Amino acid sequence: MTDLFSPITAGPFDLPHRVVMAPMTRNRAEEGNAPHSLNAKYYKQRSDAALIITEATQVCPEGMGYPGTPGIHSDAQIDGWRAVTDAVHETGGRIILQLWHVGRISHPDLQPGGTEPVAPSAIQPAGEAMTLSGMKPFVTPRALETAELPALVETYRTAAKNADMAGFDGVEVHGANGYLLDQFTRDSTNKRDDVYGGSVENRCRLPLEITDAVVDVWGADRVGYRISPFQPYNDISDSDPEATFCYLTTELAKRNLVYLHMVEMGGNEETGDFLSGRNKLFAKLRDLWPNTLITNGGYDRAKADAVIGGGLADMVSFGAPYLANPDLAERLHSGAAYNEPDRATFYGGSAKGYTDYPFLGD
């Protein structure tokens, strides 16, 4: 039976197993939001993953929503990421850059010139932004003008080119978790009356235009896309997630992307819950998606084997377990115990709680 440690071919990648390191924000970029040597060590330590998907990485200064998150829009950032990819490749690993714009999930303190964040519509999200001077309430964003959107597409195209220059093996378009592309996709945050709002076709227009631009740079076999149909994070929802995400998935499938990366969290009291049938949308998306499907949602080895063995997903991404276990794939394979994560060091700081977790042999 196919399980978590069966080999798999995903596009150009011949992978020894199906354990993926999920993107996780760690807020440890240096001045100028550039990666540095500690980041290179962190990712190199975790290169036993079949694929590493990096922390979300802003495509432009306006895309920033948290202090200390890396970008891919300056020479220093490209150079910093090149050191990361070189380190991962030294051990035979494969690393994908996640392209990110937070949209309204930001604050003027984090924006160039102290301006308002941008969004599809001028709707203030509930909650608070993390700024350099502490938590502050989100503000009402500025709605992007129709005429601005072609330039935004080009921003993603440039970021994709920069990722290629930095030595990545591919890129993932971040369309999940209530950030900009998810804000365009879902009808609670997109109230536009132009060709980018209203119908599901219009709401998905910008995410698909951006995907096409990224594919122009990389080729479809090195581009993935992340969605989170039920995730309410960042004050987002949709009145008909089945219609919205079946349409988006169908359109992405036409583009023959190498993978679709789904976040299962939300809309369900349990996570990793493909098998009960309660999240029937996921089964529909599986039927619509012809290529590699990666799922994410509180998995352990048994649940991962079951979802892969049942044909409902091809790979499983692990988030929090990879924070504290640089050799997570080995631990999953052998059944060894996990290191306990230090939550106080998840966001920001230095090596403590970042690169100092022990390996099994230590």
Pairing of strands 13-15, 8-10: antiparallel
Residues 6+ apart with CB under 8 A from 100: 56, 57, 58, 59, 63, 174, 179
How far from the centroid of its chain's Cα atoms is residue 336's Cα? 28
CA distance linking residue 32 with residue 17, whole number of Å: 36
Of the residues 156, 179, 247, 259, only one is catalytic, namely: 179
The answer to whether 257 touches 211, Cβ cutoff 8 Å, is yes
Four-residue CA torsion sign, 27, 90, 360, 4: positive
Pairing of strands 134-137, 95-100: unpaired
What single DSSP character describes residue 72?
A: S
CA distance linking residue 174 with residue 58, whole number of Å: 10
- Helix, strand, coil shares of the chain, percent, nearest 5, are 35, 15, 45
CA distance linking residue 59 with residue 196, whole number of Å: 20
Least Cα distance to 35 among 74, 65, 77, 88 occurs for 77
Q: Is 86 helix (H, G, I), strand (E, B) or coil?
A: helix
Residues 6+ apart with CB under 8 A from 4: 17, 18, 19, 301, 304, 305, 308, 316, 332
* Tokens encoding 339: 């290191």
The alpha-helical segments, DSSP class H, found in 219-300 are: 241-254, 280-288
Q: Is 181 helix (H, G, I), strand (E, B) or coil?
A: helix
Q: Give catalytic status of residue 347 as yes or no.
A: no
Which active-site residues does the annotation give? 179
